[in-house]
Every structure is written in C-alpha cells, then in structure tokens.
Amino acid sequence: MPTATIAGQEVTVDDEGFMTVYDEWNEDVGRGLASLIGIDDLNDEHWEAINFLRSDFADQGETATLRRVNKVGGIPTKKLFVLFPKKPAKKMAYIAGLPKPRGCV
C-alpha cells in the first residue's frame, strides 16, 4: 500500500488517497486531510459528523452512509451538504480517515 505524509505524519492510503489504517488517524491528520480537499476550517459541527463516523466505523466495521449519519447520528442531510459540499459522504470519510463508503463513485 502507498503512503502519504499528512500533517507531518506518514499514513497508509489506498489508490484514491483514503486512509487504510484506522489507528494512524488523529485530529491533526483530519485537519490536514480537510485542507487537501478545500475545507480549511473544521468547526464543532464538522467534528460532530467526523467523530460519529469514526465511532460508528469502530462499532460497525464499515463507513456509514449519509442515511445512517442522518438517522443514527441525528445530523440532517442538508446540513451535511453545507458542511461537506457536493459529496458529503465521500468527503467526511476522507477527513475521518476511513474507507470510502459503499455506493460512492
């Protein structure tokens, strides 16, 4: 697997740049990943979604879909599109250091 240096830390990534090792992620890496896709300021609402994705992944073993983030995480889908424009599921997973959700192109 290839590696990338994010926020001064070497992390393992797949061919699309998604992290592949859960425990290599930390908030600094998350901020670095966000910056790479044009999200420069992560606020509390961003972190709520990111933290939900990470804890849900730890419990479920796969990256949550937008529907799950809405229904289980309680975060409205419209808000997710504002926080993570255009492709929120893919962008949230990328920043959270998780595999791309199933169904994402």
Catalytic residues: 104
Cα distance between residue 40 and residue 24, in whole Å: 21
**Sequence-distant contacts of 83-90: CB under 8 A, at least 24 apart:** 83/45, 83/46, 83/49, 84/39, 84/46, 84/49, 89/63, 89/65
Helices (H) and strands (E) in the chain, counts: 5, 2
What kind and span of H or E run contains 66?
helix 66-71
